[in-house]
Structure 1
Amino acid sequence: MNFVRFAVRRLLEMAATLLGASFVVFGAMYLAPGNPASFLLGGRSASPAALAAIDRQYHLNDPFIEQYARWLGNILHGDFGRSIEYRTDVSHLLSSRLPTTLLLVGMALVVVVLLGLALGWAGAVRGGATDSAILVGTTFAIGTPAFVAAILLQGFLAVELGWFPSSGSGSGDGIAAMLWHLTLPAIALALYLVGMLARVTRSAMLEQLTSEHVAVARSRGIPERHVISRHVFRNALGAVLTTAGLIVSSLLVCTVLVETAFSVGGVGQLLELSSTTKDFPVVQAISLIIVALFMTVNLIIDLLLPVVDPRITLGTRATG
């Protein structure tokens, strides 16, 4: 029953937050310098009659609240509006590009989880030279922004050595081609987060290694591999899982830079291009989707934490 109440309360909080975010996202258009009609015209001059026609078509003369209510109502019915730059429905633009971005983020997330957990585990358990090498490597990873990693990987592995494609997503050549084209972007996207997750995992496991319940387990003669997996790593997962929200938000934000560097043609690159051309409907739709995804991930994390670590109750987060 507590689970149901907590889930319902969080869903209501998400709805309220999304409503507030939608207001901010829509209102941001009015903070941009210039008249929206000038962006619609692309800098071309127009007669007063033409400007009036644009104002009527896009309801630019309506009160702000009325425009917001109309836009929000359309969003609730799945209508994100029409792109100013591409002259097509925003929903069509997103549906054609979203699979590429989701695949890229998914590949990067796999790299982050597998390498981050493995390096953190090895550093905490093995110690010595292994731990020192991992600390040096993760320091380098954390200090390398995604766009710098993208440039380095693209210049060396793609252009210099020719091992990977330097641009594009390979979306027209099947899933195998897409995986091959997105390998370098996924590594560039994951590098910083691998270092961060490895550091968090290492710290959480080192803390558990010195805890009383681990000493008791060892005194009972439990094999060391079981002590590490069942008593150290499992209890460290609560602290590790709390970083998932930061990992997902970083992936969503950095994909804009990485997709642009590799000309992937996903939602991230679309957001960058639409921001440059002041294509407000596209920017508003993508921004709102990112907020919704981030809140959904955080809800899932809160629901999973008590399952991973029974010491945590619903509504609380592990402190490490």
Structure 2
Amino acid sequence: MIFARLVARRLGGVVILLAVLSVLTYGLLSLAPGGPEQALLGEHASTPETRAAIRELYHLDESFPLRYWRWLSAALSGDFGNSVSFRQPVLSVIGERLPVTTTLAGFSMLLTIAVGIPAGLAAGMRRGSTLDRGLTLGTLVSLAFPPFGIALILLYTFGVWLQWLPLYGSDQVSNYVLPAIALAFGQAAVLFRQTRAAALNVGGQDYLTFARARGLSRRRIWGSYSLRNAAMPVLTVAGVLAATSLTGAVFVEQAFSLPGLGSLLVQAVNEKDLPLVQALVLLGGAVVIIVNLLVDLAYLVIDPRVRHGVSA
């Protein structure tokens, strides 16, 4: 009942958010100079009749509300139209690129969690130690480098100089190692800092002082008392990073020539492929909303206080 109530509360907000996002995207792209007919014609010479036929085919001569309503009515039935640049259904184009982005996001999140959370807990448990200072300094350095810069360094070091890993491609697991590291480099630092802050906050609570006074071991104190209470803010940041991995890997995909959704979005925007851009933006918004919803549901499982607050 509590889960159903929370989901019901969120569904209304989801519909409103996606509607606003679609209107803004459609409107901004319509106001941009040029049009889809330029992407179709390219450098070829055209006659006024040809351009008029293209505009009629894609309903470009209609008013913005009418064009948007026509697109929305079709999208609600699962038809997002045909891509202007690829001459294929939008969902088919996205379906071909989606596995690349999801694979990259999955590998990067595994690295982010495997590095960020243990390192953050270790630093929080040993505040002021050499380990804590070294890890904190390392995260500051990693946050100073953008993912694109890290990608170039990894490409030259492990692809050109050492030749340990391939430079590009998406057909083997080894093709995702360097891109995943580049994407997780800064994300692990963010998760580390949040985990360390949560561990420091929990470490000063009275119940941990009493647990230490009882003579409990550090492993039992952190395993039985601290982790669950420190998990809430860490889970929030992890959810944001997971959504970012799926929707924000544009620079990494460009650097490693990965045919994912990020590079597809750049191409669609450059060519004013309105149906494709609209579908990609809505997909990104849906991913963020779904991840936030899953995080909220995880709150209910982890912390009973949240369940009581929702039920109240």
* TM superposition score category, shorter chain reference: over 0.9
Report the equivalent of 2:301.
Answer: 307
Looking at structure 2, the residues matched to 146 and 208 of structure 1 have their Cα atoms a distance apart, in angstroms, of: 32
Say if 1:92 and 1:47 are closer, same or farther in 2 by CA, change over 3 A.
same
Letter in 2 for 1:14: V
Letter in 2 for 1:145: P
Looking at structure 1, the residues matched to 281 and 221 of structure 2 have their Cα atoms a distance apart, in angstroms, of: 45
Report the equivalent of 1:124.
Answer: 124
Looking at structure 2, the residues matched to 273 and 306 of structure 1 have their Cα atoms a distance apart, in angstroms, of: 41
Q: Secondary structure at the match of 1:61?
A: coil
Residue 42 of structure 1, CA deviation: 2.3
Q: What is the aligned counterpart of 1:265 among 248, 251, 259?
A: 259
Contact 1:260/1:272 (CA < 8 Å) preserved in 2?
Answer: no
Q: Deviations over 1:144-184 (max 9, x none)?
A: 111111111011111111011111112xxxxxx2x211010
Report the equivalent of 1:174.
Answer: none
Contact 1:85/1:279 (CA < 8 Å) preserved in 2?
Answer: yes
Residue 65 of structure 1, CA deviation: 1.4
- TM-score w.r.t. the length of structure 2 is 0.93
Letter in 1 for 2:288: F
Q: What is the aligned counterpart of 1:239 among 224, 233, 248?
A: 233
Letter in 2 for 1:89: P
Q: Following superposition of structure 1 onto structure 2, how do residues 25-174 of structure 1 map, counting pairs within 5 Å?
A: 25-127=25-127, 128-170=129-171
Residue 38 of structure 1, CA deviation: 3.2
Q: Following superposition of structure 1 onto structure 2, how do residues 175-254 of structure 1 map, counting pairs within 5 Å?
A: 177=172, 179-254=173-248
Between the aligned residues of both structures, percent identity stands at 37
Report the equivalent of 1:173.
Answer: none
- Structure 1: segments with no counterpart, 5+ residues: 171-176
Looking at structure 2, the residues matched to 261 and 186 of structure 1 have their Cα atoms a distance apart, in angstroms, of: 12
Q: Deviations over 1:18-45 (max 9, x none)?
A: 1111111222221211344334322544
Residue 2 of structure 1, CA deviation: 3.8
Q: Secondary structure at the match of 2:300?
A: helix
- TM-score w.r.t. the length of structure 1 is 0.91
CA RMSD of aligned residues (A): 1.8
Q: Which one has more relative contact order, counting CA pairs under 8 Å at least 6 apart?
A: 2
- Structure 2: segments with no counterpart, 5+ residues: none
